[in-house]
Structure 1
């Protein structure tokens, strides 16, 4: 692929994907979406990748898709929704946890990107919004996830008015996992990455899968489903014994793959 506006690196268990298109507020073009999707498919089976971080250069996380591409493709929407869907599906189904560092403008596809990240962390002054209604677009990625996460009235407000909210407000309504002062964002994200990279990859994989599966169930069914996964893991995996022994022996656990 050519003209991919992202950089990829792996070190110390963390795969970092940095969007680099500052001149367009890190709007993601189709080539970059395809490259990111392919890279995630590669990461899912790598033992040296324990967590994936999405971040961006400059003062914006992601202004969504590239509107110039929309016009060049005679306003056909399907190619853009299909490439977003492929990326979001890969993010949601990959075994490793994903983290997003949300700063500056986070609009449109960037908003949907946030929704499909396991742990989005925002600067308190970030501007987060869904402007599709102002562009004549009926957004289809956000509504189901938003209703589940923030409730019907807030979903209506965000999607119909298209007015952005701050990172602090996004934290208050449960749209992000936490918000911090902008000058503390890097440190907060690095702390989360360290915590995730130190955990058993097998435990986090089963936990992530169970959480997303149980989100579609009734509370009773969800409890039974997650309990079954937990008991089976304790019987068959070495992590439970190693974790307890390490705690009792006051040492760091040595997780197997």
Structure 2
């Protein structure tokens, strides 16, 4: 498969961008090429004012199998045993995951098949996730002597500590129903209804002011790392600045006047 085809991009009506992992032969692994393309696509979409929501889907039986272990194994041939190469790959992967978190556009994972290791990390890094009821999730590094430490970062910020540790320590597969119970995904739906469910959510979110969405997403991630007093002080300031924005004035006015708002995204 030509390298240029491993990530598909489709612009949909309403400012929705569908990014589709399309390297089924490698189970959509986060190879060097995939990380580069996915990172660039997220960065570009974040800066594009015509786009409002990003959907991250995948073709094939696996959503994403995590890092490309064949590439990782080849890296051991370096004189340092692969240390510099492994560090570079982890840095690039962390950059992509943070790029999703810091992207001003909401990112929705549309999950089919299995999402394992860094693939599970990818799902956890997205703002929202809807999965087919046949999807499964795991952080299986312990099976091969490699604790899923970087997937742990996103996983532990989405599910309670004991649920995260159970996945990390056992490496067991987690069903879509269980993933919804513990907060890894929002919900699961029949596979034939998955794309419709995701696009319905994407359209609903895309109908809002992009300024408001970007403000809220940025504040959500920032306040999570603060103490309670600092979080309230920070969020209060965000609310003041938001209230002074044009779209807040328009939205409140439209609500009072019982009409649909006309967003300027400012």
**2:35 paired residue number:** 33
**1:9 paired residue number:** 10
> For structure 1, which runs of at least 5 residues remain unmatched after alignment?
none
**1:51 paired residue number:** 53
Query: How far apart are residue 248 of structure 1 and its match?
Result: 4.2
SS at 1:8's partner residue? strand
* Cα distance in 1, alignment partners of residues 190 and 233 from structure 2: 39
Select 2:209's aligned residue among 200, 209, 216.
Answer: 200
CA RMSD of aligned residues (A): 1.8
SS at 2:263's partner residue? coil
Query: How far apart are residue 103 of structure 1 and its match?
Result: 1.3
Comparing 110-119 and 136-145, the one that deviates more: 136-145
Query: How far apart are residue 151 of structure 1 and its match?
Result: 2.4
CA contact (8 A) 1:123 1:168 kept: no
* Cα distance in 2, alignment partners of residues 61 and 242 from structure 1: 40
Q: Does 1:102 align with 2:111?
A: yes
SS at 1:254's partner residue? coil
CA contact (8 A) 2:121 2:155 kept: no
> For structure 2, which runs of at least 5 residues remain unmatched after alignment?
none
Provide TM-score, normalisation by structure 2.
0.89
Provide TM-score, normalisation by structure 1.
0.92
CA contact (8 A) 2:22 2:28 kept: yes
SS at 1:149's partner residue? coil
Select 2:72's aligned residue among 63, 70, 73.
Answer: 70
Q: How does 1:134-149 map to 2 (within 5 A)?
A: 134-149=143-158
Query: How far apart are residue 249 of structure 1 and its match?
Result: 4.4
* Cα distance in 1, alignment partners of residues 176 and 255 from structure 2: 36
* Cα distance in 2, alignment partners of residues 21 and 166 from structure 1: 23
Select 2:164's aligned residue among 142, 145, 155.
Answer: 155
Comparing 31-40 and 149-158, the one that deviates more: 149-158
Pairs aligned (count): 255
SS at 2:49's partner residue? coil
Are the structure 2 counterparts of residues 250 and 60 from structure 1 closer, same or farther at C-alpha, using a change threshold of 3 Å? Answer: farther
**1:255 paired residue number:** 263
Query: How far apart are residue 28 of structure 1 and its match?
Result: 2.5
